[in-house]
Structure 1
Amino acid sequence: MPAIKKKKVTMKDIAEKLNISVNAVSIALNDKVGVSEETRNLVLKTADEMGYFDENPSFIIKNHFKNICLLIEERNFRDTHFYTKVILGIENEARKNNFDILVNFMNKDDFQIPKSVESRKVSGILVVGTIKDEHLKMLLDYGIPIVQVDHSSFLINTDAVLTQNIPGSYMATKYLIDKGHTQIGFFGEIDFSLSFKERWLGFNEAMRTSELNVDPILNVNPGYCVIGSVEKYVLSKNYKEVANIISKMDKLPTAWVCSNDSAAITLYNALNILGLKVPDDISVVGFDDIDICKIVNPPLTTVRVNKELMGVKAVQKLLWRMNNIKEPYDHIRMEVKLIERGSVKDLR
């Protein structure tokens, strides 16, 4: 018996189901002026449910769905200090422009394309935090605009919203030098993220231009730096293990520049275990200016990043990209500012 051919869904079918004119359906599907936003959304929802877009994929490509896919690792989504503020900025700006945010968790070891992307039912993608190049390429193959937030690839071009990491870390290191510190180290896993790597580079440059602890290869005295696999201890708040690492160092610096504030606060606790005080024994500078910086003792000197604005700029760039597909890609660098508090001792 021959297979029964499925009847093709038409605009007339959608109009009859919603009891509106075919013209209204056409206006909504073609994203033209003439129907309310409520009617437009209802037509899109009904057309999707009836399978209209499966037979007419060109409508999806024209960005009719007011959805943005937000891709982020779950551990970053749970980060109440930094990424929560970035996501708040994303949600507020998306809502202001009548877009919904669809949050999807990505697993770097088992990456899956979100269903919303696979079916092309999103108008754009925001990748928040680190993503592997091969996974980014998989996303780009769908032809949907992408903006990376707090990360960018060295090999694959996309728009990105980043922080002035190198200038910020340079600024923090120079601040310590101006306070009379010459034995300065860097604390943080530099291969954990692009931001950490850039902050390490800013630290190096400040040390090099000040002719301090210059090493012909690393530019700094590696004995003062802890740049290996320590982020797992920072994330798990394993202060004893960090204290153990510090206790094995031949000589301690008078100050540490940290990869971020969480690393700095980890140092606070590890040094306390070793009977050392901030800033009396060792000064500490963080990066990001998360809320807890103000309430730790002593309050943490750090480099402020406008996290919510980073999210706002990411949405604005993505919306612009949707309408300017062929324009050159752009990287936006968010301004940073040194915030002086009580964690640095003046040695002058």
Structure 2
Amino acid sequence: MTAIKRKKVTMKDIAERLNLSINAVSLALNDKVGVSEETRKIVLKTADEMGYFDENPSFIAKNHFRNICLLIEERNFRDTHFYTKVILGIENEAKKNNYDILVNFMNQDDFQVPSSVETRKVSGILVVGTIKDEHLEKLLKYDIPTVLVDHASFTISTDAVLTQNMPGTYMATQYLIRKGHTQIGFFGEIDFSLSFKERWLGFNEAMRNAGLNVDPIFNVNPGYCVIGQVEQYVLSKNYKEVANIISKLDKLPTAWVCSNDSAAITLYNALSILGIKVPDDISVVGFDDIDICNIVTPHLTTIRINKELMGEKAVKRLLWRMENPKEPCDHIRMEVKLIERESVREIRN
């Protein structure tokens, strides 16, 4: 049997479907002035649905789709304290520039390149949170401008928008030292993310400069620090297991610097189970300044990040990269600020 040849989709077909002139469709497809942004989006959407781009791949190559693929793990997407604020900044800045955000969840154990990337129907990619190098390499093969948010690779060069993690925990540790603390620990799983690792390094540097070395070679016995696999208990709010870990320490510090605010609030609850009060017995400092810092008792001293601005800067960098594909990559670091509240007690000699 002879196969029936499919009729080629033309601009005239699209114009008739939308009741527009062929000229209007042409202007929209070629990203020319003369049609509204709303009309242009409708034309592109209809052309895609009708299969026009399958027969005219050159239009995709010219980045006529004003879409940005946002790639994020589902657990981070549902993090109402931190990443939702970053995503809000992304959405607002994208909207200002007439771009749509296409959210795609990634699975670190079974990574799939989004179909919008495979078909090159996005102009850029924002990866929010941690991504493995092997997965990042798969994305970059499509040669679509990509910016990492709150993560960077040690081996693969990309643009990234990050936080001043090391200066932040350095600042927090110095603050505790000024308050008279010398027995200071770090609480947080340092291998969970690049941010946590950098915060651990900032803490160590502040302690070293104050002559209070924690563990200069980072061996497995870092004194007052809990840096192993605790993030699973933080995420699941398993305070009893954290209390169990703390109870096995030979000696407790007078203060803890935490990998983030969620870890700090986990400590609040774990210490409460053990009958230890914050800040009367142990002082606690967080990182991120999420909304709940002003709700918990005592209010949490922390390091503030402008999370929405992080999202805005990521979009701005991505748009710049679209226009400057050959320029060197850059890592942008968000400024941080110490927010003093009630979770730190001053120790007087």
- TM-score (norm. length: structure 1): 0.96
Q: Equivalents in 2 of 1:110, 1:140: separation in Å?
A: 17
* SS of structure 2 residue aligned to 1:151: coil
Deviations 1:136-193 (A, max 9, x none): 1111111211111100111111111110001001000011111111111100000000
- Structure 2 letter corresponding to 1:271: L
Q: After the TM superposition, which residues 217-256 of structure 1 pair with which residues of structure 2 at under 5 Å, given as runs?
A: 217-218=217-218, 222-256=222-256
Q: Residue in 2 aligned with 1:197?
A: 197
Q: Residue in 2 aligned with 1:291?
A: 291
Q: Residue in 1 aligned with 2:64?
A: 64
Post-superposition offset of 1:20: 3.1
* SS of structure 2 residue aligned to 1:299: coil
Q: Equivalents in 2 of 1:278, 1:220: separation in Å?
A: 27
Deviations 1:24-55 (A, max 9, x none): 22221111112221221222122111211111
Deviations 1:187-220 (A, max 9, x none): 0000000100000010011011111135441399
- Structure 1 letter corresponding to 2:46: T
Q: Equivalents in 1 of 2:218, 2:38: separation in Å?
A: 60
* SS of structure 1 residue aligned to 2:223: helix
Q: After the TM superposition, which residues 1-348 of structure 1 pair with which residues of structure 2 at under 5 Å, given as runs?
A: 1-218=1-218, 222-348=222-348
- TM-score (norm. length: structure 2): 0.96
- Structure 2 letter corresponding to 1:152: A
Post-superposition offset of 1:221: 7.2
* SS of structure 1 residue aligned to 2:71: strand
Post-superposition offset of 1:14: 2.4
Deviations 1:197-248 (A, max 9, x none): 0000100110111111354413997111000000000001111110100100
Whether the aligned pair in 2 keeps the contact of 1:280 and 1:345 (CA below 8 Å) is: yes
- Structure 1 letter corresponding to 2:187: F
User: CA 1:111–1:180 in structure 2 vs 1: closer, same or farther (change >3 Å)?
Assistant: same
Q: Equivalents in 1 of 2:35, 2:215: separation in Å?
A: 68
Whether the aligned pair in 1 keeps the contact of 2:204 and 2:213 (CA below 8 Å) is: no
* SS of structure 1 residue aligned to 2:142: coil
Tell me, which stretches of 5 or more residues in structure 1 are unaligned? none
Whether the aligned pair in 2 keeps the contact of 1:67 and 1:122 (CA below 8 Å) is: yes
- Structure 1 letter corresponding to 2:85: K
Whether the aligned pair in 2 keeps the contact of 1:286 and 1:300 (CA below 8 Å) is: yes
Post-superposition offset of 1:325: 1.3
RMSD: 1.5
* SS of structure 2 residue aligned to 1:228: coil
* SS of structure 2 residue aligned to 1:110: coil
Tell me, which stretches of 5 or more residues in structure 2 are unaligned? none
* SS of structure 2 residue aligned to 1:71: strand
- Structure 2 letter corresponding to 1:44: L
Q: Equivalents in 1 of 2:216, 2:112: separation in Å?
A: 44
Post-superposition offset of 1:112: 1.1
Q: Equivalents in 2 of 1:333, 1:215: separation in Å?
A: 27
- Structure 1 letter corresponding to 2:197: K
Q: Equivalents in 1 of 2:301, 2:195: separation in Å?
A: 19
Whether the aligned pair in 2 keeps the contact of 1:66 and 1:98 (CA below 8 Å) is: yes
- Structure 1 letter corresponding to 2:328: P
Whether the aligned pair in 2 keeps the contact of 1:214 and 1:220 (CA below 8 Å) is: no
- Structure 1 letter corresponding to 2:130: T
* SS of structure 2 residue aligned to 1:244: helix
Q: Equivalents in 2 of 1:227, 1:331: separation in Å?
A: 26
- Structure 2 letter corresponding to 1:173: T
Q: Equivalents in 2 of 1:214, 1:297: separation in Å?
A: 29
* SS of structure 2 residue aligned to 1:222: coil
- Structure 1 letter corresponding to 2:178: D
* SS of structure 1 residue aligned to 2:257: strand
Paired residue total:
348
* SS of structure 2 residue aligned to 1:226: coil
Whether the aligned pair in 2 keeps the contact of 1:260 and 1:288 (CA below 8 Å) is: yes
Deviations 1:72-94 (A, max 9, x none): 11111111110111111111111
- Structure 2 letter corresponding to 1:292: I
- Structure 2 letter corresponding to 1:35: V
Q: Equivalents in 1 of 2:20, 2:266: separation in Å?
A: 62
